[in-house]
Chains A and B, each alone.
Chain A
Amino acid sequence: MAEQRGTVGGPVLTEWFGRANLHKLEVYEKLGGYEGLRKVVTGMSAAQVIDEVKASGLRGRGGADFPTATKWSFVPKDHPGPKYIVVNADESEPGSAKDRYLMENSPHALIEGAAIATFAIGGHQAWIYIRGEYDLPYEKLRDAIAEAHAKGHLGDHPFGTDYPLDIRLYRGHGAYICGEETALLESLEGKRAQPRSRPPFPAIKGAWGQPTAVNNVETLSTVPWIIRHGGAEYAKRGTEKAKGTRMVTVSGDVQKPGNYEIEIGVTYRHIIEELAGGPFPGRKVKVFWPGGSSAKVLPGSMLDTSTDLDGLKALGTMGGSGGIIVMDDSHCVVKGAARLLRFYAHESCGKCTPCRVGSNWAVRTYERILANEGSQIELALLDRVQQGLQGGRCLCGLGDAAGWVIQSTMNHFRNEYEEHCLHHTCSVEGALIHA
């Protein structure tokens, strides 16, 4: 996969990428790795760690964009039982492959970050819930954890202290919903992966009923750098409110698809056209998903949109999981949306009514449309289903995301939908046969 650093203030996550055998503890440590964990367990209090991360302005990279230090501070300090950090390494969102890239190249960064986070919430145990299909990252992490234990960085006396820290790996069961944090916890406990209702939030009652902070791979992989260089240094990068750098995965109709670390605030034009080499000759970007399949689409005319998280929010979409999916003008949006809806319907866990029924209803409606059986009724139906999926109707974000796909593609490309439904043609991929 292509690797390139487009970061103005210097890379953070991929700082050492390209060094031979970075996944080995020896190499990682020689470069300065585990300095952060040493600093934390030998000389800092949990509150100081949280303050440092707060100063960095780091926000979660799993999709929800929640301030990481705040999440940790929700974990009760005086809880008598165990508390857990759970690393969300389930990465199954279409368009996103950055966690895998980080784990394969620098597993120790995640381990160090998870250990620091565990210390910050006053816990001793972290779990890494890794997507079942991720074989190589699993092996890399497994070996790296063993190395860290052997070296004494994890275990009963990390860096000679009396603060036990342990990390365990758990292989997931292969469903998108396993990445939703509460479904992940259910799965980790050995149950069917279905989201829990909130309250109570995981910070109060998480894994096995104990206070738990669930963090994304990228989020935690950033933490060691923040501890080494200070939160203020990290906060120099990015925009006024959305600090730092982040990974993006560019896929689809671009010449150089791959993972890139960007400074938050660069434009999508910069990422798609400069880093990822732009569309193929003669083609134009027609539409792109700015933050994974779950983010509302933006049309090619909005390539100059900034990756600033709050700016995206204002546009009704999000930076999400950082997966940027590009579609050029040779593709039909209706077909693309139909394909994604099939994904969401297939991955719907079935727990809540709107997502279970609505996503499937949408799929069947799309099927009719693409079979040239569409009409005004199908148009109205899609509109109705997308409304029924959003706005708190569903138990978790999967249902909303399915609704956003329909809504945002209809919003920006209503003409294509109308062509399909009312005229039974597709001007993009050629006229369809009339029924």
Chain B
Amino acid sequence: MPDVKMVNVTIDGHVVTVPDGTLVVEAAKLVGIEIPVFCYHHKLDPVGACRMCLVEISPGPPVAQAGCIRPVADGMVVKTQSAMAVQARADILEFELVNHPLDCPVCDKGGECPLQDFTFRHGYPTSRIDGPRLHFQKPIPLSPNIALDRERCVLCYRCTRYYDEVAWEQELTVAERGVHSVIASQFDQPLTSNFSGNIIDLCPVGALTSRLWRFESRPWDLHHTPSVCSKCAVGCNVTLWQRRGQLVRVTSRENDDIDEGWICDRGRFDYTDVNDPARLRVPAVHGSKTTWAVALNTVADGIKGKGSKLGISLPQDLTNEEAFLFRRLLDGPLRGAKVKMHGRTALPAPSGEQLMIKDIDDARVIIIVASDTENDVPIVNLRVKKAVSKRGAKLIVIHPDAVDLDRHRETVHIRNQPGEAAAEVRKLADHELLHEPGGPVAILYGDGRGSEDAAGLVAACTELAAKVGAKLMPLYRGTNERGSLELGVAGWDSLDGVEALLSWGPPPTAGVPASVKFHAVWDHLPRPEHQNASVVLPATSFAERQGSYTNLEGRVQFLRPAVDAEAPLKESWDVLCELAAALGLPLDYVGIFPIQREAAKAFPALAALAQPPSPEPEPVPVLMGPARP
């Protein structure tokens, strides 16, 4: 890293020392001074469009200037509270409201709306707006998940810029011009991107809302819980929003090491199963409701002593704690059972030093092998896009089919025959981009969804990494695939021919084998495959679960229950302990913490479990106003 020059800037009398080139709005944040913004967003390139951030800057012309596009300079004096600056911002807010529908009382954004907050803090106290407002047809369904209200839109272009810059999609644009400008999907077709939902979080007003949640509740009536997404191995941080026992919203929770504030549409919209009225809540044996004790004893009887005649299907999103307990069962009473984990790749547990997601930022050459990152590891895909389009990294993709990364004109896409990816990797050592990469090289590899020989591919990638000095990242797909691999439970066995089957989570991908005589199910939703099951145990959904996941780069993160697991629903660790007891293995934990402490001792990869992080600190209050002399 070259030394960054530091400069001194005075903002409303506070002196702040920041790296040269810092934008005025960012410098102000450091001293707790709010410069309101609409179009500016710290993850998007500044455009200076909305003019909300007007301040007075000297030296400079005696006019208001946009703080979001001005880098600081040594000795710069910024005034946010001078008469000129205060009036400029009030004028802008008045303009914003001239055509605004002012339907705040029924707006989903109400309570967390910058337009409301800024009007309160920076606007004129009275309104001078009379006369009719402009109207647009609304709401426009942008997709099955997103509604657009063009009257509420302040045209900050965050949504379209995000689509352009971050997602590399061309589905969202601006139509018409002047005061008739509107956000529109390309050719009025529904948005299809797997990254579309982020525009809801980005929209500073209630113009883009989730159709799953629209008009359901006010934000301040919700309880929110910081958690981790359970849909894939990336482990994006999310906030789960609960009201009256229902999970009503999932939003992103920025973690620069992993997700940078983005989540994919699976993580955002795939949650309605939690509230499904058909959810399984009571254990049942042969279709009759019963107690946990009876049900678990029936399960134990059915699977005990079966050795390799027992098959177990594992969910992809089991926690490390569950995996740890399960490992103890496998080492004990269930020894010899065949295990097949859902949704996992054929990749082995990682060895040696690995690339971290945030390291992708600094890579000069990125090589992606045998993975459709857009669907396999969506938010890693966005990180790659950023490295390429904002930081000038070169990209080589080895994949048989077209991928969304091809949208960059400089992407080198080598189309391999399925199964031949390793051979293409070996040829890469002489690739011109790798002669003098000018910095770190990153190799990200998947398993081609089963089409590649995983061992051969890992060997080829490891060899190439050694040759060109690259770091490696295995692209696991299963949510806790890596944790399960490290705990030795992520089985890859065929379940054909087993006599007893425990389906934990969704049924086995290959279906319930015909040989099964005893079938126990542990799931949160009823499914057709449960029809002939001897026992059905109700499971918690991700929203009721506590514990931890290890993401694909090896980071252990904690998920917290947003919705209570109300009796008779039981937490999974509790169920596993009772099942163990019924199988003759006394596992006597009084809660999840002792399990975590023990797992941390037993497995170095889980050391982080010894000390679950304390809840997040409260945000620093905004200071506002000039410094006192």
Interface residues of B in 93-133 (CB under 8 A from A): 94-96, 98-99, 128, 130-131
CB distance from B183 to the nearest CB of A (A): 11
Digitize A341-358: 1 where CB-to-B-CB distance is under 8 Å, 0 elsewhere.
000011111111110111
- A380 vs B65: C-alpha distance when bound (angstroms): 25
Interface hit among A120-128, A260-268, A386-394: A386-394
- 8 A Cβ contacts from B28-68 to A: 46-52, 54, 61, 63-66
Please pick, from B51, B66, B92, B178, the residue contacting A350 in the complex, using a CB distance under 8 A. Answer: B178
Q: Is the CB of A357 within 8 A of B95?
A: yes
- CA–CA, A394 and B91, complex, Å: 12
Chain B residues, Cβ within 8 Å of A175: 177
Distance of B55 from chain A, by nearest CB (Å): 10
Provide the bound-state CA to CA distance between A272 and B134, in Å.
42
Interchain CA distance A346-B177 in the complex, whole Å: 8
Given A387-B91, A388-B95, A395-B48, A348 contacting B65 (CB threshold 8 A): no
CB-based contact B178/A348 at 8 Å: yes
B88 and A392 within 8 A (CB): yes
Residues of B near A388 (CB, < 8 A) are 91-92, 94-95
CA distance A348 to B66 in the complex (A): 19
Question: Which residues between 290 and 321 of chain B lie within 8 Å of chain A, taking CB atoms?
Answer: none
CB distance from B21 to the nearest CB of A (A): 11
In whole Å, how far is B54's beta carbon from the nearest beta carbon of chain A?
7
The answer to whether A353 touches B95 (Cβ under 8 A) is yes
CB proximity of B20 to chain A, nearest CB, Å: 13
CB-nearest residue of chain A to B94? A388
Complex: A359 Cα to B134 Cα, angstroms: 13
- Cβ contact of B179, chosen from A357, A380, A392, A394, cutoff 8 A: A357
**In the complex, what's the smallest C-beta–C-beta distance from B170 to chain A, in angstroms?**
12
**Contact of B47 (CB < 8 Å), options: A192, A197, A361:** A197
B69 touches A199 (CB 8 A): yes
CB-nearest residue of chain B relative to A348?
B178
- Listed residue (A352, A353, A388, A394) with the most chain B CB atoms within 10 angstroms of its CB: A353
Q: With A and B bound together, what is the CA distance between A347 and B181 in angstroms?
A: 12
Are the CB atoms of A349 and B54 closer together than 8 Å? no
Collect the chain A residues with CB atoms within 8 Å of residue B157's CB.
Answer: 351
- A-side binding surface: helix, strand, loop or mixed? helix
Count, chain A residues at interface, CB 8 A: 36
Tell me if B96 and A199 are in contact (CB < 8 A): no
Find chain B residues with CB under 8 A from A364 CB. Answer: 131
Q: CA–CA, A175 to B181, complex, Å?
A: 15
Bound-state CA distance A380–B128 (Å) is 10
> Would you list which residues of chain A between 72 and 123 have a CB under 8 Å from chain B?
none
**Residue on A nearest B68 in the bound complex, by CB:** A197
Q: How far is the CA of A353 from the CA of B64 in the complex (A)?
A: 14
Question: In chain B between 559 and 580, which residues have their CB closer than 8 angstroms to a CB of chain A?
Answer: none
Q: Is the CB of B178 within 8 A of A392?
A: no
* Residue A312 lies at the interface, judged by CB distance under 8 Å to chain B: no
Contacts of B229 in A (CB 8 A): none
Q: How many residues of B contact A (CB 8 A)?
A: 40
Q: A197-B66, A391-B63, A395-B51 are in contact. Are A360 and B131 (CB under 8 A)?
A: no
Q: Establish whether residues B65 and A361, one from each chain, have CB atoms under 8 Å apart when the complex forms.
A: no
- The answer to the question of B71 belonging to the interface, with a C-beta cut-off of 8 Å to chain A, is yes
Least CB distance, B115 to chain A, in whole angstroms: 12
Query: How far does the Cβ of A21 sit from chain B's closest Cβ, in whole Å?
Result: 41
Chain B residues lying within 8 Å of A368, measured Cβ to Cβ, are: 131
Q: Decide yes or no: A357 and B98 within 8 Å by CB, A199-B69, A199-B71 being known contacts.
A: yes
- The answer to whether A350 touches B54, judged by C-beta atoms less than 8 angstroms apart, is no
Residues of chain B contacted by A169 (CB below 8 angstroms): none
In the complex, A388→B52 CA distance in Å? 12
- Is B178 within 8 A of A361, CB to CB? no
B409 contacts chain A at the CB level, 8 A cutoff = no
The answer for the CA separation of A346 and B180 in the assembled complex, in Å, is: 9
B52 cross-chain contacts in A, Cβ below 8 A: 353
In the bound complex, residues from chain A placing their C-beta under 8 Å from that of B69 are 197-199
**Is the pair B65, A392 in contact by a Cβ cutoff of 8 Å?**
yes
Task: Give B131-156 interface residues, CB cut-off 8 Å to A.
Answer: 131, 134, 154-155
Check B432 for interface membership: any CB of A closer than 8 A.
no
| Across-interface contacts of A241 in B (CB, < 8 A) | none
Give A197 to B54 CA distance when docked, in angstroms.
Answer: 13
Chain A residues near B131 (CB, 8 Å)? 364-365, 368
A377 lies within 8 A of chain B by Cβ = yes
Q: Would A359 and B178 be within 8 Å (CB), given that A353-B52, A354-B91, A381-B128 are in contact?
A: yes
Sampled A-B contacts (11; CB under 8 Å): A175-B177, A196-B47, A350-B179, A351-B157, A352-B48, A356-B155, A364-B131, A377-B128, A381-B128, A393-B54, A394-B51
Additional 12 contacts, C-beta under 8 A, given A351-B155, A352-B51, A357-B99: A349-B178, A350-B176, A351-B157, A353-B155, A357-B95, A357-B179, A358-B95, A360-B179, A365-B131, A392-B61, A392-B88, A393-B88
B contact set with A: CB distance below 8 Å: 46-52, 54, 61, 63-66, 69-71, 84, 87-88, 91-92, 94-96, 98-99, 128, 130-131, 134, 154-155, 157, 174, 176-181
- Shortest beta-carbon contacts, A-B, top 3: A197-B48, A392-B63, A350-B181
